[in-house]
Amino acid sequence: MPLPKKQPKSYKSALFWLAAGIIIIILWSLLQSSGVAREEINFSVFLDSVEQNKVSEVTISGSKIEGKYTDGSAFKTIAPSQYNDLVKILRDHKVSIEVKDTTRSPWFSYLFTWLPIIILILFWVFFMRQMQAGGNKALSFGKSRAKMFSGLQKKVTFKDVAGVDEAKEELQEIIEFLKNPKKFQRLGGRIPKGVLLVGAPGTGKTLLARAVAGEANVPFFSISGSDFVEMFVGVGASRVRDLFEQGKKHAPCLIFIDEIDAVGRQRGAGLGGGHDEREQTLNQLLVEMDGFDSNEGIILIAATNRPDILDSALLRPGRFDRRIVVNMPDVKGREEILRVHTRQIPLSKDVDLKILARSTPGFSGADLANLVNEAALLAARRGQNKVTMKDFEDSKDKVLMGVERKSMIISEEEKKCTAYHEAGHALVAALLPEADPIHKVTIIPRGLALGVTQQLPLDDRYTYSQDYLEAQLAVLMAGRIAENLFLNKTTTGAANDFEKATEIARKMVCQYGMSDLGPLTFGERDDLIFLGRDLAMHKNFSERTAQLIDEEVKKIVLRNYNRAKNLIEENREKLQAIAETLLEREVLSSEEIERLIQGKPLKSSPRKKRRTSRKSAPPGKAKARPSTKKSSLKTKKAIPEGSLS
């Protein structure tokens, strides 16, 4: 889209200099009027002072007289207009006389007379020009803030979008209609008026919309849902009308509203009731999408990650006819996304994107783009000419577990406790076939954690079996068990493990029907529309049932606690070998843990050890090993997120 011509700025410059001149004149007049503080006296007192030789000098300006006494103090007075002997009296008493001309040029008087009127006229002209200029100028807050992109700008096509093949197929029909509408209209069909893209943050909803505009080669208007509503009443509805007016002028075109839940929430849920400005904006949007006036050639695409809070009238056929779910990419999709983002990055020969895709389950497109960027920045910091697989692995560890806290000094006792804690997680995870395989174990502090045991599934998981969930419970319990058995101590390091274990067990009982209470669910979720979060759960069961639920949760957790304890007691030597090797190397890979369990020696040389404090941590000051944000337990609102720690 060609850049708009710049408005001539001559009138702005003239206005600036005129205002500056007026300010200078006003300041000058104020300075002139101000001066030495003078005592105002009667004319008779002035004459008496002259006769007593107390006056040293005077300045006469018409009838105004200003002067100084012999002691240096100043005075002023007014002489009668018919008093003709004043000069003679002053000369007789040897008073210095200065006379100033009182006549001023007429333009000066005219300027101060007409100055307020001139200022008002200039202000009115400036205000009218701002109104005519449109955009975000004065009184134009009712205009749409949508940005228009056209073919002259850099295009985004479907080649730049990967990992969402099903969504691209759905949108291909929209593109064909925009290119050749008669093909669909000849049999009486009509194209969908609106397409709603639904998906988690970072899955590529906005990128898909831009790709549709690039493929169809039509004007593309982009606006955020929050840009409609302002503090002024009626502004949102006005902007909706103006947006569709612009769309009609450039039809056929695409209008993309990002985060439409900001303006499309369920009506009646706002603080203002029916008079809420957001509701008026939504009403106007409903009318424009499917009202009396037809908007032929305009296709509305919107994106949201909260479709559950949108108004039902907005989602009905005739407005948003189609809902396209943009899912998280699978292994194949992640590999395609990595190839897209590494096109312009020089890669070393050892980089295998297939392995990288398999080791990043649960990553969205935005996460993968960030991973590639972090790897490129890390390679640049290391002074390399190409990005290696080690750069990707180190960047992945940074994203998953946090940044290494190399400067942190911990005691030998606390480091040993962390090593046995993480060794317990690693051993049980490796021995249980239902658990996710171990990817890496470290006792290097990262982020908020003193140590991390990272598990990565071999394949993407969409459902979870009871065996898998109970295996995860056993792995979570193993850290505390290892501390008790080998160090005979209990620390706060397992607090986060217990929190996640309790949540998994409670969901097994209350949501999944995986307990002796039978295939039942307990508790009704309360979707708070205005707040946009599931913050409450209604209790639809008795106190007796609540007691039974608590007993079942405890039974499931303790069953897997004992299961993990038995495994550790049967393999004490293996856990001790893992812990001692962790103290020596600080990081162990899955292959190294497998060799230690099998009793085989390790091949690689140990890492350089970090500094540790010789003093033990004071009692009660043991640091918890909280989870980090990525998880081996990836699910759709099923299992709490967080790495084992």
Q: What is the pLDDT of residues 55-96, one digit of tens each?
A: 889 888 878 888 888 888 888 888 887 677 788 888 888 888
**Active-site residue 259, yes or no?**
no
Residue 636 confidence (pLDDT):
32
Q: Which residues contact 244 (CB under 8 A, 6 or more apart)?
A: 255, 288, 295, 298
Could you tell me where in the chain the CATH 1.20.58.760 domains are found? Answer: 412-525+538-598
CA angle 523, 525, 527 (to 5 degrees): 165
Element (H, E) at 129: helix 106-133
Would you state the pLDDT for residue 430?
93
The token pair at 437 is: 């395989």
Are residues 163 and 333 in contact, defined by beta-carbon separation less than 8 angstroms?
yes
Q: How far is CA 169 from CA 163, 164, 175, 177, 252, in A?
A: 12, 9, 10, 13, 21
**Is a pLDDT exceeding 50 seen at residue 22?**
yes
Using DSSP's 3-state secondary structure scheme, residue 256 falls into: strand
Q: Whole-angstrom Cα distance, residue 439 to residue 184?
A: 52
User: How remote is the C-alpha of 371 from its chain's centroid?
Assistant: 18
CB distance 314 to 285 below 8 Å: yes
Instruction: Calculate the CA 631 to chain-centre distance.
Output: 22
Residue 370's pLDDT band (boundaries 50, 70, 90)? very high
Angle at 112 between CA 106 and CA 116, to 5 degrees: 140
Identify the pLDDT of residue 30: 56
| Between 215 and 628, the higher pLDDT residue | 215
Instruction: Please provide residue 103's backbone torsions phi and psi, each rounded to the nearest 5 degrees.
Output: -80, 135
Q: Would you say residue 253 has pLDDT above 80?
A: yes
pLDDT at site 454: 83
**Alpha carbons 419 and 63: distance in angstroms, whole number:** 100
Question: Which range is least confidently modeled, 21-30, 270-279, 636-645?
Answer: 636-645
The Cα–Cα gap between 270 and 77 comes to: 71
The SS3 assignment for 135 reads: coil
Q: Rounded to an integer, what distance in angstroms lies between the CA atom of residue 306 and that of residue 85? A: 96
Name the H helices within 331-465.
331-341, 353-358, 365-381, 389-401, 412-431
Instruction: Give the model's pLDDT for residue 378.
Output: 93
The listed range with the strongest mean pLDDT (35-39, 164-168, 578-582) is 578-582
Strand partners, 310: 265
pLDDT, one tens digit per residue, over 422-472 is 999 999 999 999 999 888 898 888 877 788 888 888 777 888 999 999 999
Domain with CATH 3.40.50.300 in the chain: 147-267+275-325
By DSSP bridging, strand 533-538 and strand 587-589 are unpaired
Task: Give the pLDDT of residue 142.
Answer: 52
Q: What is the pLDDT of residues 157-215, one digit of tens each?
A: 888 888 888 888 888 888 888 778 788 778 877 778 889 999 888 888 888 988 888 88
Query: Looking at domain 331-399, does it have CATH number 1.10.8.60?
Result: yes
pTM of the predicted model over 0.85: no
Hey, CA dihedral for 391, 397, 400, 406, is it positive or negative?
negative
> Considering the chain, what percentage of its residues have pLDDT values greater than 70?
76
Check 277, 422, 470, 592 and give the catalytic one: 422
3-state secondary structure of 496: helix
Structural tokens at position 638: 């099923």
Check pLDDT > 90 for residue 152: no
CATH number, span 147-267+275-325:
3.40.50.300
More confident: 314 or 110: 314
The Cα 418–Cα 452 span in angstroms is 9
Q: What are the φ and ψ backbone dihedral angles of 197, each rounded to 5 degrees? A: -95, 120
Q: What is the mean pLDDT of residues 561-583?
A: 93
pLDDT at 466 (0 to 100): 93
Q: How many residues does the chain have?
A: 645
Strand pairing category for 55-61 and 96-99: parallel
pLDDT over 60 (residue 258): yes
SS3 content of the chain, % helix, strand, coil (to 5): 45, 15, 40
Range with the poorest average pLDDT among 45-49, 115-119, 317-321: 115-119
Q: Give CA–CA dist 336/14, Å, rounded.
A: 58
Instruction: Return the structure tokens found at 433.
Output: 């076939």
Q: What pLDDT does 524 receive?
A: 72
Q: Which fold has domain 39-99?
A: 3.30.720
Residue 282 has pLDDT above 90, yes or no: no
The most distant pair of C-alpha atoms in the chain lies apart, rounded to whole Å, by 128
Whether pLDDT at 533 is above 50: no
Other beta carbons less than 10 A from residue 413's beta carbon = 16
Q: Which residue has the higher pLDDT, 392 or 140?
A: 392
pLDDT at 7 over 70: no
Percentage, residues of the chain above pLDDT 90: 25
What value does the mean pLDDT of the chain take? Answer: 79
Residue partners of 606: CB distance under 8 A and separation at least 6: 584, 585
220-223-225-230 Cα dihedral, nearest 10 degrees: -140
Over 50: is that where the pLDDT of 641 sits?
Answer: no
53: region left, alpha or beta (phi > 0 left; psi from -120 to 50 alpha) = left
- For 458-487, what is the mean pLDDT? 91
CATH 3.30.720.210 domain extents, the chain: 39-99
Q: Just give the CATH number of 412-525+538-598.
A: 1.20.58.760
- Cβ within 8 Å of residue 157, ≥6 positions away: 211, 214, 215
205-216 vs 165-179: helix crossing angle, rounded to 10 = 30
The residues of the chain that CATH labels 1.10.8.60 are 331-399
249-258, 294-303, 496-505, 583-592: lowest mean pLDDT where? 294-303
End-to-end CA distance of the chain: 53
- Ordered DSSP codes for 75-93: EEEE--TT--SHHHHHHHT
Q: In what order do the strands lie in the sheet with 587-589?
A: 452-455, 438-442, 587-589
Helices (H) and strands (E) in the chain, counts: 20, 18
* Mean pLDDT (whole number) for 521-538: 56
Residue 606 CB-half CA count within 13 A: 11
Backbone angles phi, psi at 139, to 5 degrees: 60, 15
How far, in Å, are 148, 168, 195, 197, 310 from residue 304 at the CA level?
A: 21, 17, 11, 6, 9
